[in-house]
């Protein structure tokens, strides 16, 4: 017995066409017409789009940060994601400073075990790279964690020196890993922050963005690109926000360097002015790098249209307003950095399609297919194709509604999109062949513990020219 999605329009990164999809077990079995067999379940997708489930390659669930812990765990975060049309994410496991990468990975596996509702992977945040830790990077790759994030921001917490960064880049060059960089100049930012506080601005969330200028993101992006060039390593720049950083990536690519960029949906919809909202409301919009200007938003949309950025993710890092953001009520330095947006992303992208910013195919590409290719799980994920996991979203592109906090499924107590009208909703969502969202509501199948770790392959950087080079004919596998 299988399931057949009938009457819908399939949208992939490449094509838009009318066909039905037959699911058998966990996989897509066939695409075509008249696919139903006796006993099959039928899902009517007439008038709707049938797309690969979105993949969010930048999330922070249950993450200790800023004196507290992000408030979605692997159950609430996953339920929010699934309601929004996201069927897989890659979270950041974190090396405890002075500890091993394995410690960090074990800790994050324990967070997800028994709680995950959808499939997930891990990147590894490297906080210090002693020689034995550099060696350990190979073991991460072997365990299906072939991507490493390093920070040029947050001195004393995450920031690494150039020696560490370079050592990790060289190892990634050799073991097929992909280095992901948070590009902001943390040292100069700290200098500006100290001065702002001395001048009496501690109580104003807006000084978060005033002390993190775009020029420092651009400078830091240039530095990461230069070091990756010398190391001969591929580079993925996370949460790109501004013209300066996009331009740096675009220049490097024009010169043939293997550099890719991600932005996050909030940077296209909110601006730095939101941090100046009264009554501490601005704290809801505190994230790093900070929200930028309308001119930066225009440059980001351009970059998406011109293929200068490859991915739109979320950097979902939720902190409740009532008792977590308020840790910084008197001092903006203590506002935990991060915004909740795992559920809203696809609806905002859909709204952007209606507004003419991108096509449906490009939406699928930046939200699902490119993430799968860059992070070593295509075509298991990110595709509507026979043999791929049946991670499928039936998208009602014409549904209109307004975001309010009551609609969201995250454990957070606000949405920054409160009152924002959007167009597009996930009506049905399949995760590895199981119907987990039906008519917009979670089904009994959406149970904690059903989600699986996705063992990802290496980034095949050895083939320059094939810039998303990890597209292989290998059988999709789960660890
Ligand atoms: O503000 C943010 N982005 N919080 C999460 C940590 C990070 O830098 O990605
Ligand atoms: Zn970051
Ligand atoms: Zn992040």
Q: How many helices (H) and strands (E) does the chain have?
A: 13, 21
- Cβ-in-10-Å burial (0-12, 13-18, 19+) of 12 comes to buried
Q: Name the nearest CA neighbour of 303 among 343, 347, 259, 271.
A: 259
Q: What are phi and psi of 215, to 5 degrees?
A: -55, -35
Alpha-helical segments (H) within 232-325 = 243-254, 266-269, 294-305
CB distance 241 to ligand 1 below 6 Å: no
Tell me the pairing of strands 235-237 and 178-182. parallel
Largest CA distance in the chain: 74
Nearest CA to ligand 1 atom 4: 338
User: How far does residue 41's CA lie from ligand 2's centre (Å)?
Assistant: 43
Residue 406 lies in a domain: no
Residue 146 lies in a domain: yes
CB distance 266 to ligand 1 below 6 Å: no
Q: Interhelix angle for 243-254 vs 214-231, to 10°?
A: 20
User: How far does residue 417's CA lie from ligand 3's centre (Å)?
Assistant: 19
Ligand 3 ion: nearby residues, β-carbon < 5 Å: 315
Substitution candidate for ligand 1 out of 154, 287, 291, 339 with most atoms within 8 A of CB: 287
Question: Counting ligands in written order, which one lies closest to the CA of residue 317?
Answer: 1
* Phi and psi based region of residue 176 (left: phi greater than 0; alpha: psi -120 to 50; beta: remaining): left
- Count CA atoms within 13 Å of residue 81 on its CB side: 39
Sheet holding 441-442, edge to edge: 16-18, 9-11, 49-52, 392-402, 421-431, 434-438, 441-442
Residue 366 lies in a domain: yes
**DSSP summary character for residue 150:** E
The structural domain count of the chain equals 1
Residue 13 lies in a domain: no
| 8 A C-beta contact, residue 57 and residue 313 | yes
- What b/e string do you get for 45-65 counting C-beta neighbours within 10 Å, with b at 16 or more? beebbbbbbbbbbbbbbbbeb
User: How far does residue 339's CA lie from ligand 1's centre (Å)?
Assistant: 8
Q: What are phi and psi of 237, to 5 degrees?
A: -90, 120
Number of neighbours of residue 407 by Cβ within 10 angstroms: 17
User: How far does residue 85's CA lie from ligand 1's centre (Å)?
Assistant: 22
| 8 A C-beta contact, residue 119 and residue 432 | yes
CB distance 314 to ligand 1 below 6 Å: no
Residue 132 lies in a domain: yes
pLDDT per residue rounded down to tens, the chain (479 residues):
999 999 999 999 999 999 999 999 999 999 999 999 999 999 999 999 999 999 999 999 999 999 999 999 999 999 999 999 999 999 999 999 999 999 999 999 999 999 999 999 999 999 999 999 999 999 999 999 999 999 999 999 999 999 999 999 999 999 999 999 999 999 999 999 999 999 999 999 999 999 999 999 999 999 999 999 999 999 999 999 999 999 999 999 999 899 999 999 999 999 999 999 999 999 999 999 999 999 999 999 999 999 999 999 999 999 999 999 999 999 999 999 999 999 999 999 999 999 999 999 999 999 999 999 999 999 999 999 999 999 999 999 999 999 999 999 999 999 999 999 999 999 999 999 999 999 999 999 999 999 999 999 986 643 334 444 433 333 434 33
**DSSP summary character for residue 282:** G
CB distance 219 to ligand 1 below 6 Å: no
**Structural domain boundaries enclosing 310:** 53-374
Residue 21 lies in a domain: no
Helix (H, G, I), strand (E, B) or coil at 436: strand
pTM above 0.75, yes or no: yes
Q: What is the CATH number of the domain that holds 103?
A: 3.20.20.140
User: How far does residue 233's CA lie from ligand 1's centre (Å)?
Assistant: 23
Cα Rg of the chain (Å, integer):
21
Residue 464 lies in a domain: no
Joined together, the tokens standing for residue 4 give: 């057949």
| 8 A C-beta contact, residue 227 and residue 354 | no
Substitution candidate for ligand 1 out of 60, 157, 208 with most atoms within 8 A of CB: 60
CB distance 317 to ligand 1 below 6 Å: yes
Substitution candidate for ligand 1 out of 91, 184, 291, 317 with most atoms within 8 A of CB: 317
Calculated CA dihedral for residues 13, 14, 16, 20, nearest 10 degrees = -80
Q: What does the alpha-carbon distance between residue 327 and residue 448 come to, in Å, rounded to a whole number?
A: 31
Q: What does the alpha-carbon distance between residue 253 and residue 269 come to, in Å, rounded to a whole number?
A: 26
Residue that has been written with the tokens 């010398």 in this structure: 230
Residue 362 lies in a domain: yes
Q: What is the pLDDT of residues 390-421, one digit of tens each?
A: 999 999 999 999 999 999 999 999 999 999 99
Looking at the CA of residue 153, tell me the nearest atom of ligand 1: 8
């Amino acid at each position: 017995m299988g399931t057949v999605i009938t009457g819908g329009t399939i949208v992939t990164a490449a094509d838009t066409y009318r066909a039905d999809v037959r699911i058998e077990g966990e996989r897509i079995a066939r695409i075509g017409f008249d696919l139903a067999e006796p006993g099959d379940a039928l899902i009517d997708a007439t008038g709707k789009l049938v797309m690969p489930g979105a993949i969010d390659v930048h999330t922070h669930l249950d993450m200790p940060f800023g004196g507290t812990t992000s408030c979605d765990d692997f159950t609430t975060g996953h339920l929010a994601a699934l309601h929004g049309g996201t069927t897989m994410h890659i979270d950041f496991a974190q090396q405890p400073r002075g500890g091993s990468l394995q410690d960090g990975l074990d800790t994050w596996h324990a967070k997800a075990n028994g709680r995950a509702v959808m499939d997930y992977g891990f990147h590894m945040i490297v906080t210090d790279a002693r020689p034995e830790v550099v060696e350990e990077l190979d073991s991460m790759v072997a365990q299906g964690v072939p991507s490493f994030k390093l920070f040029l921001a947050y001195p004393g917490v995450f920031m690494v020196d150039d020696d560490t960064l370079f050592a990790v880049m060289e190892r990634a060059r050799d073991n097929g890993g992909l280095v992901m960089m948070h590009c902001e100049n943390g040292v100069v930012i700290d200098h500006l922050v100290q001065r702002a506080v001395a001048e009496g601005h501690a109580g104003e969330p807006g000084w978060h963005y005033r002390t993190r200028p775009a020029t420092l993101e651009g400078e830091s992006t240039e530095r990461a690109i230069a070091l990756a060039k010398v190391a001969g390593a591929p580079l993925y720049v996370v949460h790109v926000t501004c013209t300066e950083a996009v331009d740096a990536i675009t220049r490097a690519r024009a010169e043939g360097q293997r550099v890719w960029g991600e932005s996050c949906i909030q940077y296209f919809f909110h601006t730095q002015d939101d941090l100046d909202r009264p009554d501490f409301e601005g704290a809801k919009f505190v994230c790093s790098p900070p929200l930028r200007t309308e001119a930066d938003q225009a440059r980001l949309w351009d970059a998406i249209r011109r293929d200068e950025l490859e991915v739109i993710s979320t950097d979902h890092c939720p902190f409740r307003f009532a008792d977590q953001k308020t840790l910084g009520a008197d001092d903006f330095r203590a506002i935990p950095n991060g915004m909740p947006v795992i559920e809203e992303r696809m609806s905002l992208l859909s709204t952007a399609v209606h507004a003419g910013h991108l096509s449906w195919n490009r939406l699928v590409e930046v939200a699902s297919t490119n993430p799968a290719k860059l992070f070593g799980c295509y075509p298991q994920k990110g595709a509507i194709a026979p043999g791929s996991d049946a991670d499928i979203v039936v998208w009602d592109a014409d549904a209109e509604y307004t975001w309010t906090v009551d609609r969201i499924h995250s454990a957070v107590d606000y949405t920054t999109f409160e009152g924002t009208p959007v167009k597009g909703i996930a009506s049905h969502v399949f995760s590895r062949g199981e119907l987990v969202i039906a008519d917009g509501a979670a089904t009994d199948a959406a149970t904690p513990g059903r989600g699986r770790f996705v063992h990802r392959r290496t980034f095949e950087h050895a083939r320059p020219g094939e810039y998303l080079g990890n597209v292989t004919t290998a059988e999709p596998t789960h660890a």
